[in-house]
């Protein structure tokens, strides 16, 4: 059937040779992009909820488990990126192994990871920026820093009249600032990201080193609190609590796969992209584990603040000035996460446009001077800015996680299938013990998907149905693999 047609591997290599993208990224530049995508607001927020409600001091174990689950997918991404050094990420990998409809469905759901992920980050950035302004005595009106629903909820909490109009201006502005940087070029985006990564990694190391002087080892006892069940029948702590905490902090790792979307701009993608994927994940996992140990050592887990655990921990030990540094780092960190997410989304759209599955004039055109997919970047920026300005953060964050988990599972499956179908294919990097790694990767991500709310599943199914409709209405007949479209592919 035509919906299962696969793009030949040699066609991917031909695309790479014809690519007009600027190849300027080194292996450490790619690693910096990976770290920029991973370390964001999650480390400064999710740690409080995970430790306070679920894992206690064993939050460190939860980070280990989540890191291991990500490693399974990362190793599979690494092998694929060495075989197919193109910008399509999981979409391209699936197109070359499973088939067109399957690849389209993955690409369609990567919109949830990258575009909805960037939207979530934009809203979160606005929240941290508002906190930063508060620290300096600047208070913006409620209607100017929140979406309509959130503004109404906050007004009710404060006992004041709900505003008739609300618009999240900071989220809108930061989206267009990032969009402008991305239109200008990958070199400018990489430089900006490198500066931000240096800043936030420095602050994370500062938290670890300074916090270590205030650790009270008594706060680590018991390291794994006894399992309890609350009045609502919900379990907390024990090993099951550690598992729940792992599913929460897993989303602090989302972003390492964005490295694979930059293969078209890497100097030596076959070697450098696998290196950057694994290295960025290893570095961030070590930092996360150390931060979790310091945090639960500074403050007893049941006394951690849920909204700003790291900042409040330093306030509790008489170091309120550190709150300024941590808040600034969170604002900067979220900026780089957003940048890499938007960068990844436009490169996936570019790969799909090259294959004819999306309109070339809109998603495949490169700027004559900057050599960036500028039209696609403007569209992505416009959509994100509008959604972020008017939508509560919780409405988009869970959809982001669904798209990510599905992509991770499918990459693990696809790399295994390719190993069986084309065992003699050149693989500069080979995933060790692939059947075991791929199986564990698929299972771990499917288990995490099963923990998502039923309402999110309904929305995910509706999104998937919409994607199938778009495929049969446009993409299938415009695909370069569709009979009669071969000339389009040759003239691209």
Alpha-carbon distances, residue 233 vs 3, 229, 230, 239 (angstroms): 46, 6, 5, 17
pLDDT number for residue 402 = 80
Instruction: For residue range 64-83, list pLDDT tens digits in order.
Output: 988 888 889 999 988 888 88
pLDDT number for residue 165 = 92
Supply the pTM of this predicted model.
Answer: 0.84
What is the total count of domains within the chain?
1
* Six token digits for residue 456: 């999110």
- Residue 391 to residue 387: CA distance in whole angstroms: 6
Task: Among 88-102, 212-226, 471-485, name the one with the lowest average pLDDT.
Answer: 88-102
pLDDT number for residue 217 = 92
Q: Is the pLDDT of residue 442 over 90?
A: yes
- CATH of residue 151: 1.20.1740.10
Q: Is the pLDDT of residue 211 over 80?
A: yes
Q: Is the pLDDT of residue 186 over 80?
A: no
- Residue 141 to residue 431: CA distance in whole angstroms: 53
Q: Is the pLDDT of residue 487 over 70?
A: no
Q: Is the pLDDT of residue 1 over 80?
A: no
* Residue 433: band (very low, low, confident or very high) from pLDDT cuts 50, 70, 90: very high
pLDDT number for residue 41 = 64
pLDDT number for residue 196 = 86
More confident residue, 247 or 358: 358
pLDDT number for residue 4 = 85
* Residue 492: band (very low, low, confident or very high) from pLDDT cuts 50, 70, 90: very low
More confident residue, 229 or 359: 359
pLDDT number for residue 384 = 96
Average pLDDT, the chain: 87
pLDDT number for residue 394 = 63
Percentage above 70 pLDDT, the chain: 96
Q: Is the pLDDT of residue 451 over 80?
A: no
- Residue 409 to residue 109: CA distance in whole angstroms: 12
Instruction: For residue range 314-342, list pLDDT tens digits in order.
Output: 888 888 888 888 888 888 888 888 988 89
Task: Among 13-22, 101-110, 222-231, 404-413, name the one with the lowest average pLDDT.
Answer: 13-22
Tell me which residue of 230, 218, 304, 278 sits closest to 78, measured CA to CA: 278
Q: Compute the average pLDDT of residues 442-448.
A: 86
Beta bridge partners of 229: 235
Domain holding 76, by residue range, is 2-491
Place of tokens 């150390």: 290
């Amino acid at each position: 059937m035509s919906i299962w047609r696969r793009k030949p591997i040699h066609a991917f290599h031909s695309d790479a040779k014809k690519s007009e993208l600027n190849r300027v990224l080194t292996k450490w530049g790619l690693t910096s992009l990976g770290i920029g995508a991973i370390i964001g607001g999650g480390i400064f927020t999710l740690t409080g909820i995970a430790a306070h409600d679920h894992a206690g001091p064993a939050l460190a174990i939860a980070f280990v488990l989540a890191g291991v689950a990500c490693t399974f997918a990362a190793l599979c991404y690494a092998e694929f990126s060495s075989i197919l050094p193109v910008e399509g990420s999981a979409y391209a990998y699936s197109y070359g192994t499973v088939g067109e409809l399957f690849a389209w469905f993955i690409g369609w759901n990567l919109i949830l990871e990258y575009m909805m992920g960037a939207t979530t980050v934009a809203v979160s950035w606005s929240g941290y920026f508002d906190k930063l302004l508060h620290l300096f005595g600047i208070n913006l009106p409620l209607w100017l820093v929140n979406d309509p629903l959130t503004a109404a909820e906050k007004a009710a909490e404060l006992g004041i009249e709900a505003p008739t109009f609300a618009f999240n201006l900071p989220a809108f502005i930061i989206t267009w600032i990032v969009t402008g940087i991305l239109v200008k070029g990958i070199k400018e985006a990489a430089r900006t990201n490198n500066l931000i990564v240096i800043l936030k990694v420095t602050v994370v190391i500062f938290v670890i080193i300074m916090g270590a002087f205030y650790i009270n080892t008594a706060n680590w006892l018991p390291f794994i609190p006894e399992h309890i069940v609350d009045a609502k029948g919900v379990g907390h702590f024990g090993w099951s609590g550690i598992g729940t905490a792992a599913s929460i902090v897993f989303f602090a790792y989302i972003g390492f796969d964005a490295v694979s979307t930059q293969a078209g701009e890497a100097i030596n993608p076959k070697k450098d992209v696998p290196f950057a994927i694994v290295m960025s994940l290893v570095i961030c996992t070590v930092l996360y584990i150390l931060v979790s140990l310091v945090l639960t050592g500074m403050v007893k887990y049941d006394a951690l603040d849920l909204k700003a655990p790291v900042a409040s921990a330093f306030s509790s030990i008489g170091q309120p000035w550190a709150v300024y540094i941590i808040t600034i780092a969170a604002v900067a960190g979220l900026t780089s996460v957003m940048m890499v997410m938007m960068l990844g989304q436009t490169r996936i759209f570019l790969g799909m446009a090259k294959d004819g599955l999306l309109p070339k004039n809109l998603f495949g055109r490169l700027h004559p001077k900057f050599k960036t997919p500028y039209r696609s970047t403007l569209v992505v920026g416009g959509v994100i800015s509008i959604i972020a300005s008017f939508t509560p953060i919780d409405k988009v964050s869970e959809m982001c996680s669904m798209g990510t988990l599905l992509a991770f599972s499918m990459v693990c499956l696809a790399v295994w299938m390719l190993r069986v179908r084309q065992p003699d294919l050149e693989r500069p990097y080979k995933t060790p013990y692939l059947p075991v790694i791929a199986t564990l990767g698929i299972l771990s991500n499917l288990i995490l998907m099963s923990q998502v709310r039923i309402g999110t599943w309904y929305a995910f199914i509706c999104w998937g149905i919409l994607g199938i409709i778009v495929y049969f209405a446009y993409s299938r007949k415009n695909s370069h693999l569709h009979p009669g479209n071969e000339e389009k592919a040759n003239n691209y």
